[in-house]
Amino acid sequence: MFKILFFGIIPTWLALQKDWIWWLGYAVFVIVFFFLVNTVRNLSSALNIVMAKTTYSNLSEDEQLEVDRVAENILTVYQSDPEAEFENEFEQWGYAALAMHDLGIAPRIFFSDWFPVKNPSRIPPDKWIVMSIKTAKGWLESRHSKNGPEAAD
């Protein structure tokens, strides 16, 4: 439906218009739309990374081993390589978020469920991760000061 609307119906209607300003408006709309979609994807990935690291640190050792095993299995499927390894820590936490979602482990901070991410190997820009870490730190500190040390656990 999206492709039909954006690449079929709207351009056809615009071709029937005689004024060029319609094309300019459509081009600006498409650019802004794709910018917003990309921003939401980056923020979702960054939040998943931060939520995964925080949640993982609160799991038991057995649960952590299970998450590690499932994350490595997901990585080998995504990469189509049984010898695949995580390229960096952010990628590892992206796959850990997918693993925890598959295991039914809810995040411990921010939200009650994980964001859908199509490709955990696509790491968002650092600014999104830094912003998510600062938000998590503030969120945890406010819970800690409001409800005492046991509320942040």
pLDDT digits (tens, 9 = 90+) for 121-137: 777 667 777 777 777 77
Per-residue pLDDT at 127: 74
- The tally of CA atoms less than 13 A away on the side-chain side of residue 83 is 0
Angle ∠(143,113,124) on CA atoms, nearest 5? 90
Q: Tell me: the pLDDT tens digits for 76-129?
A: 887 777 888 888 888 888 899 989 998 899 898 878 888 887 777 777 667 777
Per-residue pLDDT at 67: 92
pTM of the model: 0.67
Angle ∠(108,111,113) on CA atoms, nearest 5? 90
